[in-house]
Structure 1
Amino acid sequence: MTPDLIKRYAAPVPRYTSYPTANHFSAAVTAEDYRRWLGELPQDAALSLYVHIPYCRELCWYCGCSTKATQRYAPVGDYLAPLFAEIEAAAALVPPGHRVTHIHWGGGSPDILKPADIRRLGTLMRSQFSFAPTAEFAVEIDPRLLSEEQADAFAEIGVNRVSIGVQDFDMAVQRSIGRMQSFETTSKAVGLFRERGIRSINVDLVYGLPRQTEESASRTLAQVLELAPDRVAVFGYAHLPDRLKHQRLIDESTLPGPVERFAQAQLIARHLTDAGYAQLGIDHFARPSDHLATGRLARNFQGYTTDQADALLGFGASAISRLPHGFAQNAVAVDDYGRRVGTDGLATARGHAMHGDDEMRASLIEQLMCEFSVSWPDLARRFGAGVEQLRREAEDLARNDADAFVDLHEDGLRVTEKGRPFVRMVCARFDPYLSAEVEQRRHALAV
């Protein structure tokens, strides 16, 4: 990989955790549409549930999540009333024969909740939905907030996988992003969960942060490996100060450039694979025995997953639901979210109804992101003659592929080893919604 090549392909493009991506949602999808979609799910639907807690104790400068900082618990406690009401309203609409196979609490920081409220929320969800005995129940944790009592509460409601945010342990990097978090604090949090029988631990890292170098990333990774996580997710920092005002606190002159970002990502990948982790997709790593490495890979708003549910139901402010019919997103602002739930029971503010060749392109992009290949016969069995349009687009892509990123053959399209770090750029070639002029301000660099 030459510096010129890396720079040439370092354009902002979507992460493709969905297709179409959320910035193409519109107010054309309403709560009535979402209500109807829920009622039309299969009687035996497998469901995935996501709950969004949009609060943190303090706002990290690098953060791109929909959250706000509060030093008081009152706003968090007040938020739970509409959240509980929304969960009850949606549960009344889904078919009675459903089963829940995946649950994920994200944020924000779900461990900003008091132990009693963790139990209340977990108990409510189990009373409203039918959980499969083998359901994966994951929660995102800020180890700086975690207490023994909270760990007890998470274990009691059935949490069996924990995702711990680290980003970087280097103090210079931490000062540059407004997040001071020691290795000792993180290690203690891991220990609290393992002591309570929660064995599946995920660690989140970020590269491309201010003042971050290959050396600092290497030191951080050595400490992470001491924690022996089952999975490691490695995300590229998305610097979008035009959209995220708190990112303006970051000194842009200290950000690594595309070549440095690429080197950091490659170094972390090498260290993790050398340590025995399997690389999955572009940015997830798992122990070979972990079911992320052994199961069928899929992609959703949390990244790579084994979640194969028929529908993902999102609860809370800004949460997105994915159903066979399309996407429905709740109001982003907490006050607006609460008003909508109080008036209607649901909080849908925008979304996208799948139409035309959306589902076919979504399948192609997900396969490229997960497996780096796609089979024309397999797509044709699902979508019929429309696949021929994708084949023509793939042929055009291959004709202009001067850097050998793809290998086109009669049965399908494959992203080469050289092209894998740039697979998002390949996917973008099949995304007719993408507008380069608009997307520049919405997405992270492709490296």
Structure 2
Amino acid sequence: MDRKLVEKYAAPVPRYTSYPTAPHFNAAVSSTTYGGWLRALPKGANASLYVHIPYCDRLCWFCACHTKQTRRYDPVARYLAALNCEIDTVASLCGSRLNIRALHLGGGSPTMLTATDLMSLGARLREKFSFAGDAEISVEIDPNDMDETRFDALASIGMTRASLGVQDFDERVQKAINREQSFEQTKAVVDAVRTRGVSSVNLDMLYGLPHQTLAGIVVTTQKLLSLRPDRIALFGYAHVPWMKKHQTMIDDAALPDAVARLEQAAAAAELILAAGYEAVGMDHFALPSDSLAAAARSGTLRRNFQGYTTDRADALIGLGASSIGLLPHGYVQNMPATGEYERRVLAGGLATVRGFALSNADRMRAWLIERLMCDFAFSRCELLSRFGEPARAVIAEAELLAAGDRDSVFVCAGNRFVVTERGKPFLRSIAAAFDAYLGQGTARHSIAV
């Protein structure tokens, strides 16, 4: 790795799972706004549901998700009662008109729910919304939660994809991040869901963790590949202790630097590709037969708050505390504090506290950044076709960026602007060049590699 090049492009920038990014959401988008947006969704619109469970029975120190630890089930049961109220309220505004193409249960740890509550939640959603016969049902699984009753419950709600966090199999790394999970434990969960007919398994691993080494990540990758998951996500650890206080439990001195991070990522990627997987975007891999790989090949890959996806729904509806939704009009986010979230929805209202109403200029830059993040390129002709004359100003920005590039990371190639192989590790930094909001406000981000 060229250290000077890495240091130049490693400055903190967003991950671009949305545009504008969440720090720019504002209180001008209220529950009233969101209610109007839901009512405006046309009959037959395709939609996806995201349901957030903000509880874990242990707190992983690396985690940047909105969650809290509890050893008692009472707060979870209370939260589920409120969640059911929100489901009813949202469904009353749009449920009968929508065609649900996908459901994702995330957290936190959705598998912390009892088997009975998992089945009740699945039944409630199917009662209130109309699911397509081939809807994808994905669930984030913590192997430490799992027992036979929960496996059976997930099968009964129609789970089609299981997503498990591996992070790293090295015991020293696991202790440093408070996530002890053996290879045997992980394999048992993969085997159990496959036995129950789940057609797709996704495994997440991280690089850049405390005490992680190049040799160690090679061993973890080899073990992970032995499970032959359908999809693999290879994420860089986002160290944001100013935002997630539990990350202060991680020793900064034990973290690899930017160059070491990229070397770890490259070593893992090389092994994954050699095993027959195809690269998808900047940090995902999939078997050639998987729909995610097919979307990457066809140029139809998408990116949202769950990462890379094949989801092409007209609306993503977030349910639960802190959840984010995207409708044609813009973004909405629920109240993050569970107590206030519960108060609002139990009173029969929506829990929206902020969002972002999209302008045409926002949609144009959002499309451009998404294509960069998914395809490493965008077409000037397609940009003009979609957005007309206003696109010329953005094209001029791209031309200036390419003309001024002395590092061979971003070039103009005929009709297309392309991130080169040399530039791919710095994709987030290149995308940030088109972010009209970056630098506004006080938001801080993780490093870009």
SS of 2:389's partner is helix
CA distance in structure 2 between the partners assigned to 1:180 and 1:155 by the alignment:
26
Given that residues 236 and 444 in structure 1 are in contact (C-alpha distance below 8 angstroms), is that contact kept between their aligned partners in structure 2? no
2:255 counterpart of 1:255: yes
CA drift at 1:42: 2.0
- Quote the residue 2:220 is aligned against: 220
Identity in percent: 51
- Quote the residue 2:448 is aligned against: 446
- Quote the residue 2:69 is aligned against: 69
Query: Matched residue pairs, number?
Result: 445
CA drift at 1:412: 2.7
Given that residues 95 and 128 in structure 2 are in contact (C-alpha distance below 8 angstroms), is that contact kept between their aligned partners in structure 1? no
CA distance in structure 1 between the partners assigned to 2:442 and 2:235 by the alignment:
23
SS of 1:94's partner is helix
Given that residues 86 and 348 in structure 2 are in contact (C-alpha distance below 8 angstroms), is that contact kept between their aligned partners in structure 1? no
- Quote the residue 1:362 is aligned against: 366
Amino acid at match of 1:61: W
CA drift at 1:192: 1.2
- Quote the residue 1:20 is aligned against: 20
Change (3 A) 1:62 1:436: farther
TM-score with structure 2 setting the length: 0.97
CA distance in structure 2 between the partners assigned to 1:95 and 1:154 by the alignment:
23
2:322 counterpart of 1:322: no
List structure 1 runs of 4+ shifted beyond 3 angstroms. 436-439
1:33-112 mapped onto 2 (5 Å cutoff): 33-94=33-94, 96-112=96-112
CA drift at 1:41: 1.1
CA drift at 1:96: 3.1
* CA root-mean-square deviation: 1.1
2:393 counterpart of 1:389: yes
CA distance in structure 2 between the partners assigned to 1:324 and 1:420 by the alignment:
30
Amino acid at match of 2:240: L
Amino acid at match of 2:221: L
CA displacement 1:358-403 (0-9 Å, x = unmatched): 0000000000000111111112222111110111111121122110
CA distance in structure 2 between the partners assigned to 1:436 and 1:275 by the alignment:
43
Amino acid at match of 1:158: G
CA distance in structure 2 between the partners assigned to 1:111 and 1:79 by the alignment:
15
- Quote the residue 2:8 is aligned against: 8
Given that residues 176 and 210 in structure 1 are in contact (C-alpha distance below 8 angstroms), is that contact kept between their aligned partners in structure 2? yes
CA distance in structure 2 between the partners assigned to 1:393 and 1:438 by the alignment:
25
- Quote the residue 2:316 is aligned against: 312
- Quote the residue 1:269 is aligned against: 269
Matching residue within 422, 429, 435 for 1:431: 435
CA distance in structure 1 between the partners assigned to 2:348 and 2:29 by the alignment:
15
Given that residues 320 and 330 in structure 1 are in contact (C-alpha distance below 8 angstroms), is that contact kept between their aligned partners in structure 2? yes
Unaligned runs of 5+ in 1: none
- Quote the residue 1:371 is aligned against: 375
Given that residues 95 and 129 in structure 2 are in contact (C-alpha distance below 8 angstroms), is that contact kept between their aligned partners in structure 1? no
CA distance in structure 1 between the partners assigned to 2:113 and 2:373 by the alignment:
34
SS of 2:181's partner is coil
CA drift at 1:95: 6.1
2:59 counterpart of 1:29: no
2:420 counterpart of 1:416: yes
CA distance in structure 1 between the partners assigned to 2:93 and 2:53 by the alignment:
23
Matching residue within 325, 343, 347 for 1:343: 347
TM-score with structure 1 setting the length: 0.98
CA displacement 1:244-301 (0-9 Å, x = unmatched): 1100111110000000000011111111000000000000000000111112210010
- Quote the residue 1:169 is aligned against: 169
CA distance in structure 1 between the partners assigned to 2:28 and 2:217 by the alignment:
44
SS of 2:132's partner is strand
SS of 1:93's partner is helix
2:247 counterpart of 1:243: no
Matching residue within 405, 421, 446 for 1:401: 405
Range with bigger deviation, 334-343 or 136-145: 334-343
Given that residues 18 and 366 in structure 2 are in contact (C-alpha distance below 8 angstroms), is that contact kept between their aligned partners in structure 1? yes
Amino acid at match of 1:383: F
CA drift at 1:437: 8.0
Amino acid at match of 2:24: H
Range with bigger deviation, 178-187 or 409-418: 409-418
CA drift at 1:242: 1.2
